[in-house]
Amino acid sequence: MRTAARESERKRRGLKDEGRVRGGRLPDLAVDLGFLKLRNPVIAASGTFGYGLEFKPFVDLEKLGGIIVKGLYFNPRPGNPPPRLAESPSGLINSIGLQGIGVRAFCEKVLPRLEGLQTPILVNVCGETDEEYAAVIDFLNTAQRIAAYELNISCPNVRKGGQCPALSPDHTFSLVKLAKETSRRPLIVKLSPNVTDIASVARAAEEAGADALSLINTLLAMAVDVETRRPRLANIFGGLSGPAIKPIALRMVYQTASSVKIPVIGMGGIMTGRDALEFLIIGARAVEVGTANFVNPGAAVEIVGGIQAYCREKGISRVADIIGTLTTG
C-alpha cells in the first residue's frame, strides 16, 4: 500500500522513477497513516485553521498534507465570553469554548466551498455527551469529502461534572468504542496531555478500535493580571499552546508511539520544519501544526518546505524513512 501511495504521488508530481535526491530530485514527502495517504506529513490542526476557507487568501491549500477543521458539536455553539486569549512567553493560552457553527451549517455552507480540493479534509468531532459525539458522526457520515474524523475527547462532559473523557482510560475506551461503531470513516483520537499516564489512555483508545492517535491537545493553564488581580481569561483556565509546550509534547508523543501499534500524529508547538522533524524522528507518522498558523498563515506550507530542505540536505529520498529513527543509548 505504501509503495502504491508513493507511486501515485510521484505520478502526480510527474516523477517517473525512484528519485535520487542528490541528483536534484525532490524528496518524496508522502506518508501513510494506513487508512489515509498524505502528500506530506503536515496537517493543519483543528481550531487553528478555521474551516479551511479562512486561509484560502493566504496559502495554497493543495500544499498541505491535510486539514482538520475546527471542532464541531451537533448544534451551533456560542463559546466562552471574552477575554479568551492570553499571551504567555512563547505561548498562547486560549479559552474559546469551542464556538462553532454546528454540523448542519458545516455540511451546507462550508463543505461545498471546499469542493475540488485534493487535500484531505478531516473533521474534529466534539460532544457534551457520548451520545452527542455519536450524533455528530452519524450526521457527518452522509456528507461527502471527509477523509476521516478526529475525535476530540477533551470536551467537558456534562454528565461527568465537566470532566472530559480524555482524563480517564475507561471513559476514553467506551467513547472511542461508540464512535468507532458509529463511524463509517477512519477515526483518529486526539489525546489530552493533562493526564498522569498518557500510555494507559493511548492503549485504551487503541483497544477500543482507534485507527490513529493525535496529541498533544493544549495544556491546562492560567494567567493573572497583577494590576487588577483578576484572571486574564474570563474562563479562568485555558489551554496553553505554542513553542512553550513543544518539549512536553515530544515527551508525550514519544511515550505514546512507544506504547501503541497504531499510527501517532504528533503536535505541540511546531513552528518550523525542524520542529516537525523532531516529532517524526521520535515516531510520529505525521504532524499537526496549530498555533503557528495564527502567527503566520503560511506557516504549515513553510514547514513542508523546511522538511523538504532537510531531506535534500541530508540526502534522504523519502521522508517516511525518518519516522521512528531516534537513536538512544
**Contact set with other proteins (CB under 8 A):** 47-50, 54-55, 58, 70, 78-79, 81-87, 89-92, 94, 96, 99, 225, 227-228, 230, 234, 242-244, 271, 291, 293-297
Name residue 150's beta-bridge partners. 124, 188
Q: Smallest distance, Å, CB 50 to other proteins?
A: 4
Nearer to other proteins, 51 or 310 (CB): 51
- The smaller minimum CB distance to other proteins, of residues 209 and 305, is found at 305
Residues 6+ apart with CB under 8 A from 190: 46, 124, 150, 151, 152, 153, 154, 213, 214, 215, 217
Report how far Cα 281 is from the mean position of its chain's Cα atoms: 17
Phi, then psi, of 84 in degrees rounded to 5: -105, -10
Rounded Cα distance between 91 and 23, Å, is: 41
Tell me the torsion sign for CA atoms 209, 39, 244, 316.
positive
- For other proteins, the closer of residues 34 and 82 by Cβ is 82
Query: Which is catalytic among the residues 107, 126, 155, 164?
Result: 155
- List Cα–Cα distances, 119 to 99, 150, 248, in angstroms: 25, 16, 29
Residue 95: CB minimum distance to other proteins, A: 9
The C-alpha atoms of residue 193 and residue 216 are separated, in whole angstroms, by 6
Question: 85 or 326, CB closer to other proteins?
Answer: 85
Q: How far is the CB of 309 from other proteins (least distance, A)?
A: 17
Residue closer to other proteins by CB (options 158, 295) is 295
CA dist., res. 84 & res. 238, Å (int):
8
Q: Are the CB atoms for 132 and 156 separated by under 8 Å?
A: no
Q: Which amino acid is at 25?
A: R
Concerning whether 126 is annotated as a catalytic residue, the answer is no
Q: Is 249 left (phi over 0), alpha (psi -120 to 50) or beta?
A: alpha
Nearer to other proteins, 35 or 294 (CB): 294
Q: 258 — phi, psi (to 5°)? A: -80, -10
* Residue with smaller CB distance to other proteins, 75 or 99: 99
What amino acid is encoded at 122 in this protein?
Answer: L
Q: How far is the CB of 48 from other proteins (least distance, A)?
A: 6
Question: In the complex, what is the shortest distance from the CB of residue 127 to other proteins, in angstroms, rounded to a whole number?
Answer: 19
Please provide the DSSP assignment of 222-284 as one string.
Answer: E-EETTTTEESSTTSEEEEESGGGHHHHHHHHHHHHTT-SS-EEEESS--SHHHHHHHHHTT-
What's the min distance (Å) between Cβ of 83 and other proteins?
5
CB of 163 to other proteins, least distance (A): 24
Catalytic residues: 155
